[in-house]
């Protein structure tokens, strides 16, 4: 429970904003010095996502995606733009979204909106997205704000749309990181928050081939 480790909610958010303002607007900056794992990450995410985009009566559409905690657009550029007609990006750091405009290149013309906002204050446009992708950012939300945000994401989905979370998982409990002002939750806590938002878990997968010294990373699909 984040209530046990987050003493001051306002400080929790303001410290995180300050931390990211000092991070270089590069792929390596986005990945905390682990830029070399980006391709492994993207390839696994593509394989995970494509199972929902295949033909079938409940096939997820490919009209529009939302990249949450988008940074400079690493996931937008390499995962979402190749699969979706348009993408929206949301991030709390203005400098990252500014950098994204050059980083994305020509394909960036298909990014419809750049929203500068913390996810605790962000509401996806209702009934608008086939996929809402939330990667390495849920640790910057308290439990209550994460549950509320996922509920708003559910309202933002188009028919057969999915919400995807990909993030670090703690072995046990909830661990506070004072450096970037974030938390890392164990699997059971994340599953409970997903259920509390009224979402049904469709798939869950552990990321393979990441360095041994980092947290285990899991991907969840839900609607």
All domains in the chain, ordered by first residue:
1-220 (3.40.50.150)
Q: Give pTM, 2 decimals.
A: 0.98
Annotated binding-site positions: 69, 74, 91-93, 119-120, 135
CB 218 within 8 A of CB 207: yes
State the average pLDDT over residues 74-86: 98
**Confidence check: pLDDT of 77 > 80:** yes
State the average pLDDT over residues 17-29: 97
Q: What is the pLDDT of residue 56?
A: 81
pLDDT in tens, 30-60: 999 999 999 999 999 999 999 999 878 889 9
CB 215 within 8 A of CB 168: yes
State the average pLDDT over residues 204-212: 97
pLDDT in tens, 117-161: 999 999 999 999 999 999 999 999 999 999 999 999 999 999 999
Q: What is the pLDDT of residue 183?
A: 98
**Confidence check: pLDDT of 177 > 80:** yes
Q: What is the pLDDT of residue 202?
A: 97
> What percentage of the chain reaches a pLDDT higher than 90?
96
Q: What is the pLDDT of residue 199?
A: 98
Q: What is the pLDDT of residue 33?
A: 96
Annotated binding-site positions for S-adenosyl-L-methionine: 69, 74, 91-93, 119-120, 135
């Amino acid at each position: 429970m984040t209530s046990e480790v987050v003493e001051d909610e306002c400080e929790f958010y303001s410290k995180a904003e300050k931390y990211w303002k000092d991070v270089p607007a590069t792929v390596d900056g986005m990945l905390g010095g682990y830029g070399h794992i980006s391709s492994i990450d993207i390839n696994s995410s593509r394989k995970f996502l494509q199972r929902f985009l295949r033909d079938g009566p409940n096939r997820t559409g490919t009209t529009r995606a939302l990249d949450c905690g988008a940074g400079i657009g690493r996931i937008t550029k390499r995962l979402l733009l190749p699969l979706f007609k348009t993408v929206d990006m949301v991030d709390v750091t203005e400098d990252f979204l500014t950098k994204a405009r050059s980083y994305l290149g020509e394909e960036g013309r298909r990014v419809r909106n750049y929203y500068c906002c913390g996810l605790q204050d962000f509401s996806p446009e209702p009934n608008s997205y086939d996929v809402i992708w939330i990667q390495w950012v849920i640790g910057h939300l308290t439990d209550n704000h994460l549950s509320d945000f996922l509920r708003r994401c559910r309202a933002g989905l188009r028919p057969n749309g999915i919400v995807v979370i990909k993030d670090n998982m703690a072995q046990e409990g909830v661990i506070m990181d004072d450096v970037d002002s974030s938390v890392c939750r164990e699997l059971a806590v994340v599953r409970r928050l997903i259920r509390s938002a009224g979402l049904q878990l469709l798939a869950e997968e552990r990321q393979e081939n990441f360095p041994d010294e980092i947290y285990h990373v899991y991907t969840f699909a839900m609607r």
